[in-house]
């Protein structure tokens, strides 16, 4: 997949989603199988109610979010209220990508995906660094 240059037309939602799905498929087992059970949503910005709940003023300040119960807190007797979901926010990701200017878009999307799945899996910083060396 060829990525557009930063000065080209902004990458669309479906490209961000494809990069995110590639990042999930690159996770090592058993995490990959578990991650494939989590819904993946890509939107331009986080909804206002989500930003308000998190106390975030600017939608450009939120690149991703995990909604759900971390696996480390789940019980087989729990009744799911909604599916676990990893959200990615395209415009915030693109803004960070352009501001940084030193990282590829696929690498940034992978970083956001790994960070959000870290919440799902209950990973430590060391666990994250083993999968996403950008954290080191």
Residue 53 CA to residue 75 CA, distance in Å, equals: 26
Quick one: fold of 13-67+83-135? Zincin-like (3.30.2010)
Residue 16's alpha-carbon distances to 26, 34, 94, in angstroms, are 15, 21, 9
The pTM (predicted TM-score) of the whole model is 0.84
**Token output for 47:** 């909804």
For the chain, how big is the Rg over CA atoms in Å?
15
What residues does 64 pair with on adjacent strands?
Answer: 88
Q: Helix and strand tally (H, E) in the chain? A: 6, 3
Is the per-residue pLDDT at 127 higher than 80?
A: no
Of the ranges 21-35, 90-104, 115-129, which one carries the lowest mean pLDDT score? 115-129
**What tens digit of pLDDT does each residue of 50-98 get?**
999 999 999 999 999 999 887 777 766 767 677 899 999 999 999 999 9
């Amino acid at each position: 997949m060829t990525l557009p240059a930063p000065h080209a037309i902004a990458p669309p939602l479906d490209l961000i989603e494809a990069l995110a799905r590639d990042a999930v498929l690159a996770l090592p087992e058993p995490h990959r199988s578990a991650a494939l059970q989590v819904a993946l949503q890509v939107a331009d910005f986080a909804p206002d109610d989500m930003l308000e709940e998190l106390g975030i003023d600017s939608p450009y300040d939120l690149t991703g979010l995990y909604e759900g119960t971390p696996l480390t807190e789940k019980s087989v007797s729990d009744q799911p209220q909604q599916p676990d979901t990893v959200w990615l926010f395209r415009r915030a990701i693109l803004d960070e990508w352009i501001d940084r200017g030193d990282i590829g878009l696929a690498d940034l999307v992978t970083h956001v995906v790994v960070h959000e799945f870290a919440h799902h899996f209950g990973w430590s910083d060391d666990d994250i660094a083993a999968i996403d060396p950008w954290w080191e």
